[in-house]
Amino acid sequence: MFTGLSSRLEDVFRRLRSRGKLTEANIRDALREVRLALLEADVNYGVVKDFIERVREQAVGTAVLQSLTPGQQVVKIVHQELMSLMGDSQSKLTLASTPPTIIMLVGLQGSGKTTTAAKLAKRLQREGRRPFLIPADVYRPAAITQLQVLGQQIGVPVWETNPAAKPLEICRDAIATARSRGFDVALIDTAGRLHIDEGMMEELRGLRRELAPHETLFVADSMTGQDAVNVAKTFNEALALDGVILTKLDGDARGGAALSIWTVTGKPIKFVGTGEKIDALEPFHPERIASRILGMGDILSLIERAEEAISIEKAKEIERKLREESFTLADFKEQLQQVRQMGSFDQILSMLPGMGGVKNLQVDEREFVRIEAIINSMTPAERQNPPMINGSRRRRIAHGSGTQIQDVNRLLKQFAETRKLMKRFMQGGKKGKLGGGRWPLR
């Protein structure tokens, strides 16, 4: 996400940082390019105009121009103003003092409300809460069934909706049930439309008036750019929203909606969808997104993903196996699966400082699928003791995994070199340095 904008801005600020001193002309030229980059990223024109003016006023000051590192000072100003565009800090859900917390999801049809309801339920479940899903979309074919299937996948109860009932009647009965059964959160998936109409808005106003939800969240497809912003503004005027959830942000190379919604509507982005998996919903952190846009990485989000995917106990066990030189191909496969749970490798690399703007860096995810297939085709004894895999065994493994013998050979060679490298790191940790010899460059 934001790859186009991030690449453009990194080029601009790289040139600024390379200068020993800056003049007002230098800053004016740089901000002209920043303005074009933001407009090409589909950021609202009025938002861009105000943003550039605020940066210019601060950047041409004596404190910046006479600084020892003026380029860095300008980047710092831009980082702060980008955060301001998105609300400065994370906005969390408002939870009721007396359960259940009622959360109503609204938006146009096709924005991803139903899937987002399940994703949000999954996240709340991981946080130790007991969510309850309420399908209130009686108009879209199979909407109720879709939520029931998703609820079954994540182990969250779904209210048995009568399609002939009115949405308000459905919600009242479902919330009463959630309260009596001790559920923490009631998530309502309301009906959407292909476009905004007064009948739709009146129905939603009625639900909000009668149910008094603690959170009314607008679900928007970030890929639609300024259309999503304009629709969010209309919904906010009609319903007084509490926040926004942006879906499909992982596929939005521009990011115009994320950078415009807060300023245009005054409502914070609370969550963003970062993939198709049911757990690919993350809290929105303006400071982290601003850092990622400017190529500074997002180490905190990377650490949080690692903590969710990899248990401390497993990490300690792997450390022990590496120390005792008993790390096997089965362990290697398990580690690979845990890393893949953190997201695609492109997403992981984008969170590392300096990697967001690296061009032509492609990671073939299919290679990891092939590695798993090869290891799965081995016997337990072969995974435990790779040196026993002779020529005939390699042919059998290649045939069983649908790969070539060269693929098997390459995996075994890489695994042997990895074990050697890990052994040297362990020795280096004991001695305070790498354990002698030359670094094995390949």
CATH classification at residue 14: 1.20.120.140
pLDDT interval class at 253 (50, 70, 90): low
Three-state DSSP at 281 gives: strand
In a domain, 90, yes or no: no
- Give yes or no for a contact between 427 and 435, defined as CB atoms under 8 angstroms apart: yes
Counting Cα atoms < 13 Å in the Cβ hemisphere of 12 gives 24
* CATH code for the domain in which residue 173 is found: 3.40.50.300
In a domain, 94, yes or no: no
In a domain, 233, yes or no: yes
| Claim to verify: residue 209 and residue 283 sit in the same structural domain | yes
Kindly state the helix (H) or strand (E) to which residue 104 belongs, with its residue range: strand 101-106
Of the candidates 275, 296, 317, which is a domain's last residue?
Answer: 296
Residue 209 has pLDDT above 80, yes or no: yes
Q: φ, ψ for residue 273 (rounded to 5)? A: -85, 130
Greater pLDDT, 123 or 75: 123
- Give yes or no for a contact between 374 and 394, defined as CB atoms under 8 angstroms apart: no
Q: Is residue 92 classed exposed, middle or buried when 0-12, 13-18 and 19+ CB atoms within 10 A define those classes?
A: exposed
- Give yes or no for a contact between 323 and 424, defined as CB atoms under 8 angstroms apart: no
Say how far apart CA 237 and CA 24 lie, in whole Å: 41
Short-list 167, 147, 168, 143, CA closest to 158 = 147
Greater pLDDT, 296 or 154: 154
| Claim to verify: residue 119 and residue 265 sit in the same structural domain | yes
What mean pLDDT comes out for the span 334-340?
A: 73
Least confident of 18-22, 264-268, 270-274, 307-311: 307-311
In a domain, 60, yes or no: yes
Amino acid letter for position 431 = K
Short-list 178, 35, 218, CA closest to 98 = 178
Residue 270 has pLDDT above 90, yes or no: yes
Least confident of 8-22, 206-220, 233-247: 8-22
In a domain, 423, yes or no: yes
Residue 402 has pLDDT above 80, yes or no: yes
In a domain, 10, yes or no: yes
pLDDT interval class at 331 (50, 70, 90): confident
User: What is the tens place of the pLDDT at every residue in 388-401?
Assistant: 999 999 999 999 99
| Claim to verify: residue 118 and residue 182 sit in the same structural domain | yes
pLDDT interval class at 296 (50, 70, 90): low
| Claim to verify: residue 133 and residue 274 sit in the same structural domain | yes
| Claim to verify: residue 219 and residue 342 sit in the same structural domain | no
Residue 45 has pLDDT above 50, yes or no: yes
The CA-CA-CA angle for residues 4, 10, 16, to 5°, reads 145
Tokens representing 334? 């398990």
Tokens representing 114? 């139903």
In sequence order, the β-bridge partners of residue 261 are: none
Domain count along the chain: 3
What mean pLDDT comes out for the span 5-30?
A: 80
| Claim to verify: residue 315 and residue 388 sit in the same structural domain | yes
pLDDT interval class at 187 (50, 70, 90): very high
User: What is the tens place of the pLDDT at every residue in 341-383?
Assistant: 666 656 666 655 555 545 445 556 677 788 889 999 999 999 8
Residue 183 has pLDDT above 90, yes or no: yes
Predicted pLDDT at 364: 61
- Give yes or no for a contact between 2 and 255, defined as CB atoms under 8 angstroms apart: yes
In angstroms, the first-to-last Cα distance of the chain is 32
What is the pLDDT of the chain when averaged over all its residues?
A: 81
| Claim to verify: residue 288 and residue 393 sit in the same structural domain | no
| Claim to verify: residue 215 and residue 263 sit in the same structural domain | yes
Three-state DSSP at 103 gives: strand
pLDDT interval class at 435 (50, 70, 90): very low
| Claim to verify: residue 319 and residue 246 sit in the same structural domain | no
- Give yes or no for a contact between 52 and 34, defined as CB atoms under 8 angstroms apart: yes
| Claim to verify: residue 280 and residue 320 sit in the same structural domain | no
Kindly state the helix (H) or strand (E) to which residue 300 belongs, with its residue range: helix 299-309
- Full residue range of the structural domain in which residue 425 is found: 304-431
